[in-house]
Every structure is written in structure tokens, then in C-alpha cells.
Structure 1
Amino acid sequence: MLVELSVVEQRYHAVMEVLSAGAQVTEVAERYGVSRKTVHAWIRRYRDEGLAGLEDRSHRPRAHPWQLDAEIEARVCELRREHPRWGPRRLGFELERAGLGPVPSLSTIYRVLKRHDLVEGSLRKRRREDYRRWERGEPMQLWQMDIMGSVMLVDGTECKLISGIDDHSRFCVIAAVVPRATARAVCRALVTALETYGVPEEILTDNGKQFTGKYGRPRPSEVLFDRICRNNGITHLLTKIRSPTTTGKVERWHRSIQDELLTDEGPFADVEHARAAVEKWQREYNTQRPHQALNMATPAEVFRPVSGENGLALWRPPELDTTPVSSPDVVVEEGPPEPVEPTAGSGAVVVDRVVPASGNLWLRGQQFWFGPARAGKRVRIWIDTTTAHVSLDGWHYKTLPSRLSSLDLDKLRAAGAPTAGPPPPRPDARELISGDPVAIDRVVTASGTVSVARRSLSVGQQWAGRHVTLRLDNDLAQVIIDGTIVRTLSLNLSPSQRLRLQGARPAGPAPEPDRRPARIQRKVSARGATQVTGQTVQVGYRYAGRVVTIEVDETVLRVFDEADEAITTVSRTTTAPVVRHKAYGHRVESTISQEVSPLN
């Protein structure tokens, strides 16, 4: 019988032939297919270490002249833990700034982060050289402007951030926090930047109403922003509709301030605290934060403001001078106001309405959108000339600006709407960010998911189209349907994200979980079997090609036919959860049509 010897045994026999049998090293080396030097090494290692010396050894060198210094490697890990958003390029820049050298390459820094589990591996992206950079050649040739939200206050109010970026230097010229991004607030921020840095050649914006009247109704018109650009010799450029990548630099700036400031430090106590935090971050961004697109230079090192050497004075619209600077949210309508009949009662009113089938509720010319899923729901609207508070099923749904005048309120009051008292209380923002359980309502999509804080949560395709309640407790999201918990998911939200949840309200006690077994559908194969939670269930050849319903219990699987008649019951041998409830390749419509269609 042939026996295969291990490598150590073969080397041991070779050594014994030389030491015990007195064979020549040349003959042994030739017989074992190695060099004489290798046989001498085996003999030396056997004399020094015994049988263990004949085992395979790593050829890795004990030291390497290019090995990264341990101090630099520790500093890289320390900087990464202090600043989780810094990548290899920024880490290398900080090492060079601190005078630690020689600075390792970007690939070496990446391998250090990967080795210490400080970064997740990803597929190789396209090289930077393959991208075509779109930017102006000099500063002050083009500004990009936009408006973003997500500046949250403790009381639940969402402020707006008016921002502007120089296209060439990435210098932030505008960062104004306002309660409402009205046309006056946007123009005031623009004029302040023009007075501070000079007049650029062009300004690029999207097609918002604050920037352009190109799509105004009933006809296009020139808004105040356009007039400021025209009178100061600025070319106003507009992006294509639904093309946010055209203003990609200011959008990328929004992402930076969202990740590094608003998410970490928000919500803020009031507007003044938010403005102070944004102004501080703006100064650090312009003067201290190196920018990778500028070869790790700061925007202030590249930006050059324009002086008034051309002798043209800045044109400032007189409308802005009539509005106090401390009230940027005050709206001053252009043109003479429409005459309004004098009225004695101009207070708020309360209106009860039922959401129509379209989900689009109108009240005196103002639209309130609820969606078809809430058709038939009764809502209560507290409204005056400035604000409208909407309550749905007894809890606060949303707050939005009012478009009604005093005359509209009088007509509603004459139609029977009662005069309202103080505004309805909104959920205390401190309760939403304190970590106490909150509840929100969502509608499951056709793919079985719901959206929470821009995240997609898989609820289950069997609940598609259903209204569900999500109870957010710590890092868990409990899906509640018909008063029972049908699923528990992992969801970690920051205080700022919890504060921005639409329709959030304090949650009551958690209901009991749903103990009923799940009912799923499976299509029987040609062999009369199907798969359920990784377990093969034999249904029978007579059901081949048909769809059966399987009731998944903790210990058994019950199989039913189309008429819900029991077919068989088998023991459950797996503990895997149910991840699919519908049968593959099965359409109810096609099955019905085959049953009622006559034979050809």
C-alpha cells in the first residue's frame, strides 16, 4: 500500500541518509530534486532545532528599509479616529504640516487604515485624470448660489441656508441663515456679498422663484434677483430643469456643512446661535480647511476679491433699504397692494375638512397635499393670515405658510368656521431629540419599503400599500400594523434627524408582538417540491406548477391549496426568517385569464 509522506518526513529521511547511512550530499540532493545547499541547510537546521527545524518557514524579511515608521503609523490612526471623515490625502497633508516625515504615499496611508479597520474597502474608482474638470479659470468669474434647509432649531423650526461659492477658488462668499428663504432674504444676502467681495462676471443658480421669474405665471417676469444682476452688469445663468449637478460645487459645499456642522452640532437654540455657528464654520472653511481640488490649498489662498477700480458704484435696490436688516424673513410685495375691504375680525379660524379621493385638499385657493393614501381622513386646519397648522387624527401633521388674506378668513367665518384660540401645541422638540420613543406614520411602497430620514427600510412586500406606524425606540424601529408589532428593524438616527421627521409625535407604550404565523406563497416545482426558509417541502406531483400557501409556524409548516384546504403539515427544521412572501413568476391576472378563456 502506498503512503504519502509529508514534507517534513521527506526532509527527515534525506537528513538521515546523510547522517546515519553516510550517503553523499550530492546523491541525496539529486534524488530529492533539490540543490546541495538546501540539503546542507536541512542538516544544519536539524542539528540546531531538531525535527521542528525541518518545517516550512516564512521568507518574509525581518526588516525592510522602506517599512513605515511605527510612530507615523500610530499618528495616522490617531488622526483618523479624531477626524473620521479625513481621507488619505488629508491625512498626508496633516502629517506634512506637522513636520512628520517622510510622508508616506496615499496608497500606504490607505493600507494602514485598512489594516486597522479604520476604513471599509471599496472598489477602485476612475482616476482623477479621467474626469473633465468644469470650472472657470480665475476667481470672481462665476459664483454658484443655492438654498438648502436642514438648519434645525430646538423648537422644531427648520431654517434655510443661503449659500454662494466662487467657482474657481471654492471660496464661500455667502452663508446666510434665515427663517424663510424669501426673495428679499436671498437678494439681501447677495447684495451683502457684492459689497464685501465685489461684483462677479456671472452667477449660476437653479430655477427657483427667488432667483428667476422665467417660469412665472401667467407670463414670465423679471424678479428682484434678475434686476440686481442686470443693473450691476452680472450675467445670470440658469441650470436646466432638474439638473442639480450643474451647480455641483455649491451642492458639495452643502454636503460638507451638513456632515461637519449641522448634523454634529444641531439643533440650535435659536436663529442667532445657528448664524454664529455657520459663520464660524465658514471662516474655518475659507481660511484653515485645505481643499483637495485646490491641491490642498485653502480657498482664501486662491480667492481674490474685486476692487472698485472700474469706477462703477454698486447698484442696491431701494426695496432692501426699506426693510430692517434684523428681519430678513419679512416679505415686501412688489407693486401696489390689492385693496382689501376693512374688517373688524382678522383672527385665526379652525376649519374641519375631509381629505378627498385625490388627496389634494383646497381651502380658499390654498392647496394642502395629503396624498391619496389619506383619502377619507378628517383633518383640522388652524389658519390665520401668516401660518397654517394642520392636525391629522388628533396629532400635529405639519405647519406651513398661509396664503389667505383677512377677507378670506372673514368668508370662512361667515360660512360657519369658528374663531380659533391660540395655535395648537406642536410636539415638544426636546421630547423628539431626548431619545424617548416617537411614532411616525408611513405608507409601504410596492417594493415593501418605507422611507425614514432618507433611508429605505424593508418592511415586507406583503404589506405593500398599507399604512404602518413606526415606533422609534433607541436604535430600533418597530413596525406596527393593526396594533401589533410585525417586525423590528435596526435604525440609528441622530438628534438632528429625529427633529426633522415629518409627523413625529411622542409614542405610547409598545404593543404586543404579532404571534400569528406568517402566511407566504410558493410555486410548486415540476418535481412537486418547493423551498421555504431554506427547507425543502414536498407538496406532491399533482400540485406541480401551482401556487400554494404555506403557514410558517415556529415548529411546523402547514401547506394549503388555492381553496385554502390543508394539503400537508411538515416539521420545520430551520430557524431562518422569512424574507420573501410572494411566489416567483406568478401573476394573478394571467392565472384568472387562463381559467376563463375558452380553449383554442
Structure 2
Amino acid sequence: MPKDARDQRHRDWLVEQRYRAVLEVLNGSPVTEVATRYGVSRQSIYTWKARHAAGGYEALRETSRRPHSSPTRLPPEVEARVCEMRRAHPRWGARRIAHELAREETATVSRATVHRVLSRNGLIRPQEQRHPRKYKRWQREAPMHLWQLDLVGGIFLADGRECKMLTGIDDHSRYVVVAEVLAVPSGRAVVDAFVRAMRIYGVPAEVLTDNGKQFTGRFTRTGPAEVLFERVCRENGVNAKLTKPYSPTTTGKIERWHQTLRRELLDSVGPFADLPTAQEAITQWVRAYNSQRPHQALNMATPASLFRPASQPDPAQTVPAPRRPGTQQAASALSGPLLLAPSAGAVEFDTVVAASGHVNLLRDRRVRVGTRHAGTRAHVWVDEHTVHIFLGGELTKTTVSHLDAEDLHVLTLRGARPAGPPPATAAAQSLTSMPDYTVVEVDRSLDHEGKASLGGNKVKIGPELAKQKVTLRLDGHLLHVVHNGLLAKTLPSPLPADQRHKLHGARLAQTELPPAAPEPIKVERKVPRDGVVMVTRQRLRVGRTYAGKIVTIYVEDTHFRVTLDGTELALHPRKEQRPVTRWKAKIHAPKL
């Protein structure tokens, strides 16, 4: 029997049952008994009785329960606009369409409402729900902290050639910083494109690439070697990071962008006439992607709205990089008439550090050296620009003097004697301008979070150096952190070059940059039976296979690298920057 016939038969049977119940009540049967016998409520019996009295037998049939009016129903013109957008852009989902409606000021519609409209109009293809693999998502907290770089193929020309393209995306903002088509994807071509991008947007703090031969010489047949890309990163202070082999999800942002590029451009345009035509088409599409196309991962904001280029103008030149003038040449250039005004004559005198930790120069002019030096004999060399203070025969502090020729004359009347040549370079604050290659140093004590105060701003150095005294060396667009005579890390400089001389306690660097620390922090852990070890309060799963063995864990800026006898076992992202407090593995004595 067809379904419609079965439904009609059921409706007829339902009317017949109601009619019999009404007849029993009209013949004198109690309503409660009739309701119990037919399995309904007393209110239903009364309703059927009233409907029968008003319209007879046919009034007992079911009527539509649809409301007479729907004030909140989507207007027909808005529903038509939703369908029009979907047909014009088949890849737009409900979220994108709702965003575009808001931008057009057509209506403010939720994503669920748009989805229902698409569903009832047959514009959504039903598909089986899939449960994709879950990945640990991560993102840098600010732009220019990390660039993801990769090479992608699929750029076909009319003559049959297939070209590759160097692509780069900013990890925080998803802003595409590199999209250059390469006729030959050699190491030199990759480096040239990378350097051009840095000249436009500045030098990033880190770059993340796969293990391609253009990016690293780690897997060369003759042994590990430094390739051109690694050399350029080193000379520009860029921390070059590599993904784990066969782990494309680590650079998931750039891989996902490749998929969008193929779907929205490459799959529809076909072969390009020549390489310049391909580059122009991709450049136009990237410009729209950065500034016009909303990104769902950014809460429908455009990448350009979140991206901020670095403050430094240009990176270092491509290899071979020109050598920077030596410190002696820099010091002689800084002492010229363009930087310092002529001196009226320096003076020097001996004094004692006050109980407050200050060295008194004149009236309210004083320099703080610390209460731990209270009562110590100090030797002071001072002119209109700079004050050098010696404690125990060693230069302790160099700062700006703020004295004029009359003040120096008053010091002479009080016993100060004419001084010889400057014992050290001038304080940076006393300079009115500095060449770009000038290196400035400041001493800072980090707070409990590993941050330093620099130019009125808090600069995050790292929790591993919390409450430590470090030397911050500002060299062009880079900030070198020196701790215990070693280069601890290199960060982007937060200050423009013309603001360095205004830093409190700044001085001109007199020595070369110290060597870097030999390797990252290394700790040891004994793997328990469950295969999980703890480092800085973070659980790292190594595996029960290695239970009872001692593994070496390298604690780096963004991840933990677990190794055993020189072989890498696992790579875990570092969730929080807690300092390391335990270095050796705990080996308990066996129970007797």
C-alpha cells in the first residue's frame, strides 16, 4: 500500500475513534471513564466534544498547527540574497555568508539561520559526518614573531613548464609575506626572495621551514653543512627552526593556505602565458587575500588588520654581508664634531659614596651607584656630556652628566682638577645622532617574569633569566641578550635606531659580541612505567617502551626535544615558559 494511502487511512481511523468517544459521552458515559478507555486526557474529550458540536464529524480531523503569523521569520528578500550568494560563490559557507550580509548591511543573520535557509532550499549537499584527527593548535602572540616558509609546485606555464613558488605566511596574523614564483627553485633564488620580503616587512624573530635542501644542510650526504639560507638567517639574527621529518602538520598554516590558493585561483585559471603573467596574477590574488578576504581563524578579520611590520627598515645584505666597521672606527666616528659639542674642559675629583648609594656631583646633581657601595671611595671623571665613575679602580658606571661649563668651573673652585682624555667611550644619551652601525649597551635586572624595562616599555626576555642581571646590546634592528659572558638569545629590537641614545644608562659598546651559548638547556629524566616524564610541570609522553631508561630532554624556546643516545624520540610543544628547576634524573634505590 502506498505511503499516502496508509497516512490517509490512519487519519480516517483517528477521526472514527474520536467520534465514538464523543458519542459515548453524549449517551451519558462519564468523561473520566471514556478518557481512560481511549488513553487520552479529560481535556481532549472536552475539546473533541466542543469541535463536534461546532462542525460535526469533519471537525474532528487534525488541523494545521502552523501559526497565523511569524514576526521573526527571515524576510523573503534576505533569504533570496542568501541563496544568490551561495550560487555565486559555491565555496562560501554559512559563516562567510552571514559575515558578508553584515558587511553589506543587508541584515544581521546568525550562522545557524543561514544554514537552515541553505538546507531548505537544497543548496547544501548532505554528507556523512566525519571526525577528523585532532591536532594541538598553537599560534604566536604577536606578528613578526614567526614566519612559516615553504615551496609549492603546480604553477604551470603555456610552454609546458612547471614552476615552483616560495610562500611565506606570518604565524600570528596569517598575512602572506612571500609569494614569489621561481623559474628554478635553487637555494640562491629562495634566499633572494626571502631577503626581498625582509626588506619590505622587516626581519622576523624566527622562521619555520621543512627539511628541504634549500632551507637546511642538515641531511646532506657528505655530512651536516650550512646552506645559504641558514647563513642569511644567522647573519640577520633570525632563529631558523625545522619541522620534524614527515610532519607537515607543524607548518599547517602555510599548507592550508596552499589549499586555498589552488581551489580559488590555480584550479580555475589554467596554464599561464609566461612567468611574469603568473607572478602578476598571484600577486593580485594575494593582495585581495591579505586585505579583503575575511579569515575564519581570525574571527572573520582580515590578515592585514592584524599584521604589523617590524620597526627596522632593512635586513642585512645578502651573502656575502659587508663587515661592519670595527669598534675603534665607530668610537672615533662618534667622537667627531657631528655627535658631540665642543667641551669646555673635563675635570676629575675623588669623593665618597653617600649612605643613600649616590655620588654627589653638584647641588642636586647626583648619580646612583647602589647602597652596597655606600662609604666606598669613588673617582669621578666628568664633562658636559658624560660622567664616568670608578670604584676600586674599575669603571662602574657611565651616564650623562647634564652639567654645563659654569658647573665645571664651580667644581674646579671646590678642588676638582683638570682631567685627561676620556677613560671610556661617551654615554649614548649625550649623543645627538648616531650612525646606523653604532652598538649601544644597557644593563638591566629582569623581573620575576623575565621582563626588562626598556624605553618605557616592558620587553619579554625569557622566564629562564628571571631576576637575573643581563646586558642588552642594541645592534641595528637586533637586541642581543648577554648573560654571564655568553650570548643567551637574540630578539627583534623594540626601539627604532634614533631612540637608542635616550635609554637610561646606555653606553657605547666597546667589545665584540660574545659567543653564543653552546646548546639549549639540557635535562635528564628516568622514564617511569607509564612512559610519561615531567619537565617544568608539563607532562611529556615518551612511551612505555622506554620505561626504566634515562632520556635527555632539550628545553628550547617553543618545544621539548626528547632524545635517547643521540636519537630523537619525540617532539612536544612547550605550553608555558616556566624555568627549569631540576636537571638530573631521580634514581631511587631499590626496595629491599
Q: TM-score, normalised by structure 2?
A: 0.48
Bigger Rg over Cα:
2
Q: What's the TM-score once normalised by structure 1's chain length?
A: 0.47
